[in-house]
Structure 1
Amino acid sequence: MTERTASSALMPLSEALGILLRGVEPVASTTLPLADAVGRVAAEDVPAAADRPARRTALRDGWAVRADDAVGASAYAPVALAAPPSWVEAGETLPDGTDTVLPPEAIEASGPIAEIVADAPAGAGTRLAAGDLAAGSLILAAGQRIRPVHALAKPASDPVRVRLPRVAIVLARSGAEARAATLRSLVERAGAAVSGIVAPARGPAALAAALVAETADLCLVVGGTGFGREDHAAASLARAGRLAAHGLALRPGESAGFGRAEGRPVLLLPGAPEAMLAAFLVLARPLLRALAGAAPEAARAAPLLRKVSSAIGLSEIVFVAEGAGGVDPLGSAELALHRLLLARGAILVPPEREGYPEGTSVEIMPL
């Protein structure tokens, strides 16, 4: 059981992440209807049960014909049909013996006589059997985040297996309700679920008892991470289990920490809004991905509209706003709330860099 004092060395972010994620396994899977699983992480592959469509279907409203019957047809050389063609609506199965859908104006009919006045290549206006999905093809792969578009391939009521980490938000200091609401949204967007928001009585004993009693997969302790007289988060975690780190080479977020209580990970997030968000982005989000068994996702990059300066030796989070053709840096530590409200994401400046020049393409961590 360890505890960092105000004079102790700060742990590098890369080292902290290695310790934090060591031995973390995905949580057990659970079943949800697809409609309720959007935003969660699939626990297993989801294949298509059958060909879609089962037979050739129309992609447009029009006349179902055999392409060979329409070859060379034009307004100057119409092709007479032995019988009026069948009209089909988009999405309908084509009648037997047809393979093409001509647009409405391609057929001129007068009583029982119908003529084709425009041809089309075979298959025009149609979708082949299995053209949408072939039986056995993957709708979802294990580790993939479920998106609203996936409901187009599978009924919304169908069950899917997901990994849904449960997160408890523990308020170590009073007045942190707004921060808890922000964390709840961030946790949900990360594919997890908030199991509860706990506000224990003041003091290290009560906070430690709350951490021991909690059964969630992850506890996020908000506030009380500094070195003031009323900051008991680190001491409480040490009392409840094991304090692995307190004090990171992260700006903002130097007073963040983590450890375990009852075998479950506990993150100590600073109470200052910009520091809380920074620690969530670089610590909680990777941990939630590991607990959910999420596969790596493609990162978004954008050029900087202004240069960013940073101190060597610290991993620095710089919040950014959207701008014309790139992102505009807003600032880092001690960022005023009216500026933080403009943020749409953040970038991480590694400890070996002094910043980035204007125009550098940087990876954006979304907020």
Structure 2
Amino acid sequence: MSDRKQFRDLVAPEVAREAIASLDLTPEPETVRLADARGRVLAERIDADLDVPGFDRASVDGYAVRGRDTFGADEADPVELNLVGTVHAGAEPDVAVGDGEAVEISTGAVMPDGADAVVMVERTETRSAGSKDTENGASDVVAARTAVAPGDNVMLAGTDVAAGARALGPGTRLTPREIGLLSALGIDEIPVRGRPTVGIVSTGDELVRPGEKLHSERGEIYDVNSYTIAAGVEEAGGEAKLYPHAGDDYEEMERLLLTAAEECDLVLSSGSTSASAVDVIYRVIEERGELLLHGVAVKPGKPMLVGELGTSAYIGLPGYPVSALTIFRTFVAPPIREAAGLPEPETATVSGRMAVRERYGEGRLRLMPAGLVTDADDEMLVYPVDKGSGATTSLVEADGVVAVDPDTEYLDQGETVEVQLFSPDVRAPTLLAVGEDDPALSRLLDRLENPRFLPVGSREGLRRLGGGVPDVAVVAGPVERDVESVDLGGWTREWGLVVPDGNPDGVEGLSDLVDRDLAFLNRGGDAGVRRSLDVALDDLAADRDVERRDLTESIRGFEVGTKGFESPARAVARGEADAGLGLRATAVELGLGFVQVGTESVRVRANPDRAAKAGVEEFASVLGTAADVFEGLAGYDHEQEQN
């Protein structure tokens, strides 16, 4: 009576995939150093813990000034300012700018106290004051031939990355782009998904490891599969572990397989899976584990095994190298990638249609950073990404580059372009969202498969939604302009003044900012909460029968706002401001005091042409079932979808 294993009931490939999918290959998360993080996948969201840059810095060479001192200056009638010092990049300023003064400053240098703008050096002239007397003696004079407003030619703290912002989400693969962003944030230890450990055992008396002496007269051949499959495991995101060669001896095969099962998440063997009398590996699995299937209706690769051995998953590959590699790539590599959190690979170049018209015409080859987004029909759209050469996040938001010929004046909307991807693993996000940064939004995005969010503010978010590029815009506060959209729902949040713990200055509301000499840190004009503040100041001005400008000019620090929603609160925590515009949730999170001024609505508005897109529908579903997100944030309340 023969004990050979017969292939009587070959399963369909779909059944084999289902059997493999039922195996647990997922390793535990781990922490790695930044230097070792390339290619790994984030296990959890990383928020920025500091502003990048962490200081207000000059974005051009020129002269740091008080913007109001240059008002009215032009080529015919320049404004003369006393030059009182110099600030270089990498040096702490040792000079301040007073009324009618200027400080020479280099690109990237810290803005000195008192200055709020920079006049480009090309728009100035300098001369020696000669015998001109100043309080400190003779000084040079700078003639500014143009006027600048507060904030001109200045990169404010947090412009690149704002403290508290969602820097990278779980599931992000760390390429050199993301490594650069993490470096800019000063993060050295990274929480990543574990790489599944895959033990590889090759069988067959005829096999010899490369480097050993080969006896062809005995029918020996070099072991190809161990190294080929190990390379495939590493390429798929796993960690390959080679075990000593096993012959066709049952006891030795059993020992090696059980050892590998104790040490690895998945055990792969090659050979000894067919119906030959000496192919006995299936007996080890049947007797010491569970054999889920033996034989798949596929060519090549029919004699595949799938089962469990101890706490490890097991897959047996055919012995022929071509068959083994084919089965590995078709059935085994995908679940290894999934366990490691890696996407399916694809070509490093993709074609798409321009989502917007992009003008150029500088007579030079342009490598345009480009982002990818799909429309409701899953057709690829391409949009330009450009936050400036000094912005690290441009790399994170871009998926590749489009080479624009020197003679090209513009790329028209709908024109087909080729995108050279930064990595073959790059995928278009399942959802492209823009608009108001918000702690609830960060938590909602964590529940989506592969979202991308650009924190451009409510006003800019609406503008971009009207331009047709993003899938959705997140809009907070009163809306000055409207665009055609589909309302997916939203929430409300309490906003007001974040103050030090215990509110030592006894701040009660906006009137204190107007009537008292308190240092205030505002938000930028694109923020929805800034618009809510403006409306509240309109009401206060009406009550006092004055113009709103009369109130804002009395608030110290009102003119220059920050990008990040946490930045004002963090400035208060550091003792750099008496009050900052912010949210109750932020104040509670940072252990600060809070004076409520109002409650504002935050709405998620969808591009009407993308309402049926899978990523948009997924976001709408998550938004409708995320009551726990809002319950966990102070001052938040979940709103229902508007009709």
Q: State the TM-score, normalized to the length of structure 1.
A: 0.69
Matched, 1:35 2:35: yes
Aligned mate of 2:190, from 147, 151, 160: 160
Q: Which amino acid aligns with 1:145?
A: R
Q: Which amino acid aligns with 1:195?
A: K
| 1:1-367 mapped onto 2 (5 Å cutoff) | 5=5, 7-22=7-22, 24=24, 26-70=26-70, 73-83=73-83, 85-111=102-128, 112-118=140-146, 123-155=151-183, 158-162=188-192, 163-173=194-204, 174-175=207-208, 177-214=223-260, 215-228=263-276, 231-292=279-340, 294=341
Given that residues 334 and 344 in structure 2 are in contact (C-alpha distance below 8 angstroms), is that contact kept between their aligned partners in structure 1?
no
SS at match of 2:200: strand
> Residue 210 of structure 1: CA displacement?
0.9
Q: Which amino acid aligns with 2:105?
A: V
C-alpha distance in 2 between matches for 1:8 and 1:251 = 16
SS at match of 2:182: coil
SS at match of 1:41: coil
Q: Which amino acid aligns with 1:127?
A: M
C-alpha distance in 2 between matches for 1:234 and 1:272 = 17
C-alpha distance in 1 between matches for 2:174 and 2:268 = 25
Q: Which amino acid aligns with 1:242?
A: E
> Residue 264 of structure 1: CA displacement?
0.6
Given that residues 140 and 146 in structure 1 are in contact (C-alpha distance below 8 angstroms), is that contact kept between their aligned partners in structure 2?
no
Given that residues 35 and 157 in structure 1 are in contact (C-alpha distance below 8 angstroms), is that contact kept between their aligned partners in structure 2?
no
Q: Which has the larger radius of gyration?
A: 2
- Decide whether aligned partners of structure 1 residues 23 and 70 sit closer, same or farther in structure 2, where only a CA change above 3 A counts: farther
- Aligned-pair identity (%): 28
C-alpha distance in 2 between matches for 1:127 and 1:266 = 55
- Decide whether aligned partners of structure 1 residues 82 and 4 sit closer, same or farther in structure 2, where only a CA change above 3 A counts: farther
C-alpha distance in 1 between matches for 2:156 and 2:62 = 17
SS at match of 2:291: strand
SS at match of 2:336: helix
C-alpha distance in 1 between matches for 2:55 and 2:252 = 65
Deviations 1:80-115 (A, max 9, x none): 224363343443322233344444323322231212
C-alpha distance in 2 between matches for 1:123 and 1:250 = 66
Given that residues 43 and 142 in structure 1 are in contact (C-alpha distance below 8 angstroms), is that contact kept between their aligned partners in structure 2?
yes
Deviations 1:121-140 (A, max 9, x none): 65444322222222233333
Q: Which amino acid aligns with 1:46?
A: I
Given that residues 202 and 225 in structure 2 are in contact (C-alpha distance below 8 angstroms), is that contact kept between their aligned partners in structure 1?
no
> Residue 265 of structure 1: CA displacement?
0.6
> Residue 261 of structure 1: CA displacement?
0.9
C-alpha distance in 2 between matches for 1:98 and 1:12 = 72
Higher helix share: 2
Given that residues 4 and 275 in structure 2 are in contact (C-alpha distance below 8 angstroms), is that contact kept between their aligned partners in structure 1?
no
Gaps of 5+ in 2: 85-101, 129-139, 209-221, 352-416, 419-423, 426-643
SS at match of 1:265: strand
- Decide whether aligned partners of structure 1 residues 61 and 280 sit closer, same or farther in structure 2, where only a CA change above 3 A counts: farther
> Residue 33 of structure 1: CA displacement?
0.9
Given that residues 106 and 119 in structure 1 are in contact (C-alpha distance below 8 angstroms), is that contact kept between their aligned partners in structure 2?
no
- Decide whether aligned partners of structure 1 residues 71 and 145 sit closer, same or farther in structure 2, where only a CA change above 3 A counts: same
- Between 199-208 and 29-38, report the one with greater CA deviation: 199-208
C-alpha distance in 2 between matches for 1:286 and 1:41 = 16
C-alpha distance in 2 between matches for 1:252 and 1:122 = 70
C-alpha distance in 1 between matches for 2:82 and 2:118 = 17
- Decide whether aligned partners of structure 1 residues 117 and 260 sit closer, same or farther in structure 2, where only a CA change above 3 A counts: same
Q: State the TM-score, normalized to the length of structure 2.
A: 0.42
C-alpha distance in 2 between matches for 1:57 and 1:182 = 52
- Decide whether aligned partners of structure 1 residues 201 and 61 sit closer, same or farther in structure 2, where only a CA change above 3 A counts: farther
- Decide whether aligned partners of structure 1 residues 77 and 164 sit closer, same or farther in structure 2, where only a CA change above 3 A counts: same
Q: Which amino acid aligns with 1:49?
A: D
Gaps of 5+ in 1: 304-324, 327-343, 346-367
